A and B are shown apart, each in its own frame.
Chain A
């Protein structure tokens, strides 16, 4: 069992739909990261959170420390949101090392 697991692996949505990607982790964390990777390969950091909820534009990230679970929500999805979304955990004893999930391939159709 991977230390960080995501679901679903693939997600197809119609433009305007509300999207949720889930992340579960089995290790103690100091922070949970949500990242976006476009086909070219570069990774952009979306959120880093250790408790509660963060919002940036149409993106919302939540975390439940007790349940070791985090979600990334996209409201009013748009084709330009199509990308791979990855969650990653950082642990207090591991410096800046990130342990990644496998990623969720999101496709938003017009």
Chain B
């Protein structure tokens, strides 16, 4: 079975643009979480979706939004990009949305803002 897949792998944008990042969870997994990892730091939680509903949101501005589709894939959207949005964006999936599930991570999308 395929693992968690994220696209694109790398992306270069300029300030003010918007970006859409995509994540396909492991088949059967209903929960998807998004994280932002700035160079040299641990990942920071952005969103969790479970069964197409938002289950949690981290301390990120409204420029960040996400959604989950009926097939459980997910998109992360970021508007009005800032230089500080340059980071590795990670997606993780699990069977259910509770706290006792192993998390499976994708390889991430590396976003660079010029």
On A, residues with C-beta under 8 Å from B are 4, 30-31, 33, 35, 40-45, 48, 50, 86, 88, 90-103
Contact = CB atoms under 8 A, between A and B. Distances in A.
A31 B48 CA distance: 17
A92 B99 contact: yes
A62 B108 CA distance: 28
B30 to A, nearest CB: 10
B20 to A, nearest CB: 19
Interface in B90-106: 90, 92, 94, 96-106
Interface residues of B, number: 32
A97 B107 contact: no
A94 to B, nearest CB: 6
Interface centre among A86, A92, A93, A94 (most CB of B within 10 A): A94
B74 interface: no
Interface in B22-48: 31, 33, 35, 37, 41-45, 48
28 contacts: A30-B100, A33-B102, A33-B103, A40-B107, A41-B110, A42-B105, A42-B107, A43-B108, A45-B102, A45-B103, A48-B103, A90-B100, A92-B99, A95-B31, A95-B56, A95-B98, A96-B50, A96-B96, A96-B98, A96-B103, A97-B48, A97-B99, A98-B33, A98-B103, A99-B45, A100-B44, A102-B42, A103-B42
Given A43-B105, A44-B105, 6 more contacts: A45-B102, A50-B100, A86-B42, A96-B50, A97-B33, A99-B45
Nearest to B42: A100
A90 B99 CA distance: 6
A92 B45 CA distance: 16
A6 B88 CA distance: 21
Nearest to B89: A41
Given A86-B42, A96-B48, A98-B45, A30 B99 contact: yes
Contacts of B15: none
